[in-house]
Amino acid sequence: MFARLSIPTPFAVGPVNAYLAGRTLVDPGPGSEEAWAALLDGLEARGLAPGDVERVLVTHPHPDHFGLAERLRAEGARVLASPATAAVVADFEARFEYERSYFVEFFERHGMARSTAETVTELPETFLRVAPGVETDRELRDGDAVDVAGTTLTAERVDGHAVGETIFTYGRESDELRAVVGDHVLPDVTPNPLLQPPAEPGGERPRVLPAYNRSLAALRDRAFDRLLAGHGEEITDPRRRIDAILSAHEDRTENVRDVVADGPTTAREVMDQLFEDLPATEYFAGMSEAVGHLDVLVDRGAVETRERGGVVVYEPAA
């Protein structure tokens, strides 16, 4: 049903997959001239111009997935996304500033020097140039249906990888059960859910890795035949791939348990134990992984937290 268009990105993850069916495009790519040229080539090869695209579906609000939506909307396309995704893509710069201010304090409280925390949270500012804001024309809630080229897609909320993440399932009635899954499941990389701030200032921080593990397990148990991922090739054995991701997560969680076993440990110390010589450009991802696995252990009652001199430390549960 879907044709896969490979769209270049300026990020280490490499090209992103845009999926085209009829006049509907899922995840058009980042807002760069290089990406726009590649998208135009892909559309032209299928006899389409930008103005022929009627709808853009966005799986989640990361710049490599939604950045070109604004250009396509200017050409007449309608943008569809979940309510939470819609709020982020409408003003990505405001979201960036909120995350930056939150995580400077958060990283400092979890053992990182403030100057380092400020540097780490400013690095993603380069994302802004490929993430122009775009309005959403229809907000998709969990279970909403979208007709695409004569096939019904169902928008389904999933948790863990990004705010407002949505997958689009289809096909069981007449063929295989499939889904366009964005970055929720990837064929070659074990996704590292990045830390998220509270949905509202002053609220509770989402525990993204425990939520992601639960979401993956639920997806695995639904017996999908194929998954169309945001990066890399189509996943032809979803259960096996999801099991591999969950197993990799479990191995890392056990590594973190071993680090904390020696006594009070900060998340920064856990990150340093997990990753030797990690460059500062990867600190946000490194802290996301450290805190994520600590969250899993806290969720299981294996680890407790307390404050020591204004810094959060983790230690084995009594």
Structural domain contains residue 176: yes
Question: Which pLDDT score, from 0 to 100, does residue 155 have?
Answer: 98
Structural domain contains residue 291: no
Question: Which pLDDT score, from 0 to 100, does residue 217 have?
Answer: 97
Percent of residues, the chain, with pLDDT higher than 70 = 99
Strands 151-157 and 311-316: unpaired
Structural domain contains residue 193: yes
Distance between CA atoms of residues 188 and 191, nearest Å? 9
Instruction: Give residue-wise pLDDT tens across range 27-72.
Output: 999 999 999 999 999 999 999 999 999 999 999 999 999 999 999 9
Name the residue among 58, 64, 67 with its Cα closest to residue 86. Answer: 58
Structural domain contains residue 68: yes
SS3 of 23-52: the string is: CEEECCCCCCHHHHHHHHHHHHCCCCCHHH
Number of domains in the chain: 1
Structural domain contains residue 223: yes
Question: Which pLDDT score, from 0 to 100, does residue 158 have?
Answer: 97
Tallying the residues shown for the chain, one arrives at: 318
Beta bridge partners of 180: 168, 228
Distance between CA atoms of residues 81 and 57, nearest Å? 6
Quickly count helices (H) and strands (E) in the chain: 10, 13
Question: Which pLDDT score, from 0 to 100, does residue 223 have?
Answer: 86
Beta bridge partners of 147: 152
Name the residue among 215, 188, 211 with its Cα closest to residue 199. Answer: 211
Contacts of 129 (CB under 8 A, 6+ apart): 31, 32
Question: Which pLDDT score, from 0 to 100, does residue 20 have?
Answer: 98
Residue 100 CB-half CA count within 13 A: 17
Question: Which pLDDT score, from 0 to 100, does residue 174 have?
Answer: 61
Structural domain contains residue 306: no
Structural domain contains residue 109: no
The three-class DSSP label of residue 235 is: strand
Most distant CA pair in the chain, distance: 65
Domain holding 167: CATH number? 3.60.15.10
- H or E stretch at 83: helix 83-90
Which residues in the chain come in under a pLDDT of 70?
172-174
Instruction: Give residue-wise pLDDT tens across range 70-92.
Output: 999 999 999 999 999 999 999 99
Structural domain contains residue 281: no
Q: Which domain range does residue 145 map to?
A: 3-92+128-245
- H or E stretch at 4: strand 3-7
Contacts of 218 (CB under 8 A, 6+ apart): none
Strands 138-139 and 78-81: parallel
Distance between CA atoms of residues 79 and 128, nearest Å? 19
